[in-house]
C-alpha cells in the first residue's frame, strides 16, 4: 500500500475539510510501526464520541488508531484483548479512547513522576475489561460481527447477526472513518439548515 499521500492532522498544511485518503495506511502513518508522535502542548480532556463534530471525529479517529497500533506493538497485545476491528464496537472504542487520554495525561511532562505507574495499574484493569468486551462481542482476529443487543419487551426483534470475514483491516478502518465523518457532517448540515444557516458560507439565509 502506498503511504506517501497520508492525512496527518498535525501537519501545518492540514485542511479540516480534507477527507481520509483511501490509500492512507492509518495503522502505519509514519512508516515505522511502533513509533508515536510527540505529546501535545497540554493534556487533552475526555473524548465524548457523542458530541464530536465531523472534523474533530476525523482527527480523533486517526490519532487514536495511531496510538492503538503503537500500544499493540509495544505490549504485544493479542486479538483477545485488542481485535483488528475494534473501531466497529462502541464498547471497545469508549474503553480504548479513555485509556488513550489517560496515557496522554500520565506522560505529560508536567505530570508527577509516579503517574506512569498509575497508568500501568489502570492499564492492567482495562485489559481485563477489554477481554470481557471482546469475548461478549464475538469479534476475532479473522472474523467480526456486530455486538449482540438484548431486545427488551416491546422492542422490534433484532436482525440476524452473521460473522463477516476480515479481508483487509486498514481498508476497513478507512472506510469506517469516511462513513462516520460523512454521517456527522450530514447531521451538522441538517442542524444548520434548521437555523437557516448556509453550511458552506456560515451566513444566515
pLDDT of residue 200: 65
Task: Please state the length of the chain.
Answer: 205
Distance CA 174, CA 176 (A): 5
The dihedral formed by the CA atoms of 63, 67, 69 and 74, expressed in degrees to the nearest 10 = 170
Q: What is the pLDDT of residue 41?
A: 63
Mean pLDDT of 160-168: 93
Helix, strand, coil abundance in the chain, percent, nearest 5: 45, 5, 55
| Tens-place pLDDT, residues 34-84 | 455 544 566 679 999 999 999 999 999 999 999 999 999 999 999 999 999
Dihedral sign, Cα of residue 91, residue 144, residue 140, residue 175? negative
Amino acid at each position: 500500500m502506498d503511504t506517501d499521500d497520508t492525512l496527518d492532522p498535525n501537519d501545518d498544511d492540514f485542511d479540516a475539510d480534507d477527507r481520509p485518503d483511501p490509500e492512507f495506511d492509518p495503522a502505519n502513518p509514519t512508516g515505522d510501526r511502533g513509533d508515536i508522535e510527540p505529546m501535545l502542548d497540554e493534556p487533552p480532556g475526555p473524548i465524548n464520541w457523542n458530541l464530536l463534530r465531523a472534523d474533530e471525529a476525523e482527527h480523533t479517529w486517526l490519532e487514536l488508531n495511531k496510538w492503538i497500533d503503537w500500544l499493540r506493538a509495544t505490549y504485544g497485545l493479542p486479538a483477545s484483548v485488542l481485535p483488528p476491528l475494534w473501531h466497529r464496537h462502541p464498547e471497545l472504542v469508549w474503553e480504548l479512547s479513555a485509556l488513550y487520554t489517560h496515557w496522554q495525561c500520565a506522560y505529560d511532562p508536567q505530570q508527577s513522576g509516579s503517574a506512569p505507574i498509575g497508568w500501568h495499574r489502570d492499564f492492567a484493569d482495562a485489559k481485563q475489561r477489554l477481554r470481557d468486551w471482546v469475548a461478549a462481542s464475538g469479534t476475532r482476529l479473522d472474523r467480526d460481527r456486530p455486538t449482540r443487543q438484548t431486545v427488551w419487551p416491546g422492542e422490534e426483534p433484532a436482525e440476524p447477526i452473521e460473522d463477516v470475514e476480515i479481508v483487509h483491516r486498514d481498508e476497513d478502518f478507512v472506510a469506517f472513518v469516511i462513513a462516520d465523518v460523512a454521517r456527522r457532517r450530514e447531521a451538522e448540515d441538517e442542524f444548520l439548515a434548521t437555523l437557516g444557516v448556509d453550511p458552506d458560507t456560515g451566513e444566515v439565509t
